[in-house]
Amino acid sequence: MESSAPGKRGYHHGDLRNALVAAAAELAAKGGPQSVTVRAAAREVGVTPTAAYRHFAGHEELLMAAKERALDELTRSMHAEIAARTTSTGDPVRDALVRFGAIGRGYLAFARAEPGLFQTVFSADGPTMPPPEERDEIGPFMMLVEAVDELVRVGYLSRRRRPMAEFAAWSTIHGLATLLHGPLRDMPEDMRDEMIVRSMLVLGRGLSGAGLAPDLEALLAKEFTRGR
């Protein structure tokens, strides 16, 4: 037992590291990543900072553990939406689009329900996205990649338009989540829903390639290409 002070949790077991991670995740949920410190987590668990530092060298290590816990929660939210909304209809394009939409819905639902954890997942502290061979196949990003690949398999998204499509989709959904938690947080519910629907329709049309003539597509590509 490593406690020398009474705490809110009444720590009485041997797995202090996991207890500290759980406390860090709760701190993040309440106050975002800036609230996660070794001292605060130790106080929540009811141990001394010295005991906590035996498991985490510093704030960065504990925050990374909290980020991983928050990422697991985001993944579960996305899986829950997929499970609730995806059943086979016999139409492969429809099924693929429903799955794609469910992934986005789960992402937005998590951002709204757990803004502190959402901020923690995407806080600037921590590593950048790892190379493809090191990515977790069950994490949110790979779920999106698989959903986009499925759109190709069913013929909705052409192979020519496939490269980087997951980043376009991610940018759209993440931008919505960030805006709705930030400057648009007081937007009326009906307007919020309409904005999400309209954004998803624009994204869906863009992926299909049916909404933009080739000459205009080339024009936009040129305008957004650096150095031209």
Per-residue pLDDT averaged across 97-105, rounded?
Answer: 92
Give residue 219's pLDDT.
Answer: 77
Residue in the structure block whose two tokens are 């997942």: 121
pLDDT at 183 over 90: yes
Predicted pLDDT of residue 131: 58
The residue ranking higher by pLDDT, 139 or 2, is 139
* pLDDT at residue number 221: 76
| Better-scored residue on pLDDT, 120 or 7 | 120
CATH for 67-223 (3.30.465.10, 3.40.50.300, 1.10.10.2520, 1.10.357.10):
1.10.357.10
Segments making up each domain of the chain, as ranges: 67-223
* 67 burial level (CB within 10 Å; 0-12, 13-18, 19+): buried
For the entire predicted model, the pTM comes to 0.84
**pLDDT (tens digit per residue) in 162-182:** 999 999 999 999 999 999 999
For the chain, what is the mean pLDDT?
86
Give 51-66 pLDDT, tens digit per residue. 988 999 888 899 999 9
Q: What is the per-residue pLDDT across 84-93, written as a single tens digit (0 to 9) for each?
A: 986 778 899 9
Distance CA 34, CA 37 (A): 8
Q: Do 107 and 74 meet the contact criterion of CB atoms below 8 Å apart?
A: yes
- Top pLDDT among 46 and 12 is at 46
